Amino acid sequence: MSLDFLKAIILGVVEGLTEFLPVSSTGHLLLLERFFGFTDAQFGKTFVVLIQLGAILAILSIYFMRLWKIALGFFTDPAARRFVIGVLIAFLPAVLVGVAAHGFIKDVLFNAWVVCFTLIVGGAILLWVDSLELKPRYHDATQFPLGTYLIIGLAQCLAMIPGVSRSGTTIVSGMLLGADKRSAAEFSFFLAIPTMAGAFAYDLYKNHSLMTADNITLVVAGFLTSFVVAFFVVKTLLDYVTRHGFALFAWWRVLVGSLGLIGLALGY
């Protein structure tokens, strides 16, 4: 069964719902591909990466004025310049690891077994973090120490393993380094912009030969759907996480990972 328009819409919804939640959008998309019987494995993997651009644009639209102000103040405002440098510092490790290990990540780690195990382990880590009595020192994502930005960026590299969750690693590492839940989540959003845009550009460059007219139509459908859904998720996520923590997302990861392992063990 080939990837068709309806599946593109479904995957776009899943991408939008999960990209900024600590549940791993890539992991969920890969499991959907596996259990829905997609056979075009190469384009399926590329499709998963390309539709993330819709979620990026959702972040840009929500934070446009704030980001625009930072951009305008880059040459005149030391605080704005420092934040941009911090984002670049956090982004750099993902660039180096992504370019060096792109083939290994796509060919080996994009695997349903890997996804299921990392979903479960990640769920356990979220429950552990939720149980800690952390005392936040930082309440503004634009004012973390530069060393904190670097460590968050290094932690983000773990999310190249499908199922780990890019937002999960950045939020958890930020909290362990002294950020409160809200600012850690916000920085996760900001760091997603260059990280996901870079992944989009690199994957498109590596797999442009797959972009037939039909495939472009599917990517556009998934992209638009992910944009709309991600917009509403981001609008509600910060308040939810601040009030309720990560338990819901942790148990969801454990549930999906466990069901996936059962399905794989039964030969699906």
Q: Quote the CA–CA distance of 1 and 225 in Å, as a whole number.
A: 22
Q: Are 192 and 141 in contact (CB under 8 A)?
A: no
Residue 1: predicted pLDDT: 43
Q: Quote the CA–CA distance of 245 and 78 in Å, as a whole number.
A: 33
Residue 84: predicted pLDDT: 93
Residue 40: predicted pLDDT: 52
- Token look-up 């880059």 returns 74
Give me the domain span that covers residue 177.
Answer: 5-265
Question: Mind listing the pLDDT tens digit of every residue in the chain (268 residues)?
Answer: 455 778 888 888 888 888 888 998 888 888 887 887 654 555 556 676 777 788 888 888 988 898 899 988 888 999 999 999 999 999 999 888 887 877 787 777 888 899 999 999 999 999 999 899 899 999 999 999 999 999 999 999 998 888 999 889 999 999 999 999 989 989 998 998 887 777 777 766 776 666 666 677 877 888 889 899 989 888 888 788 878 888 999 999 999 999 999 999 988 7
**Per DSSP, what are the bridge partners of residue 138?**
179
For the chain, the domain total comes to 1
Q: Which of 46, 14, 38, 50 is nearest to 226 (CA)?
A: 14
Q: Are 168 and 24 in contact (CB under 8 A)?
A: yes
| Single pTM value for the model | 0.83
Q: How far is CA 180 from CA 124, 130, 246, in A?
A: 20, 12, 13
207: how many CB neighbours lie within 10 A of its CB? 18
For helices 112-131 and 247-265, give the axis angle rounded to 10 degrees: 150
- Token look-up 């409160």 returns 180
How would DSSP label each residue in 22-56?
A: TT-HHHHHHHHHHHHT---HHHHHHHHHHTHHHHH
Positive or negative: CA dihedral 227, 59, 243, 26: positive
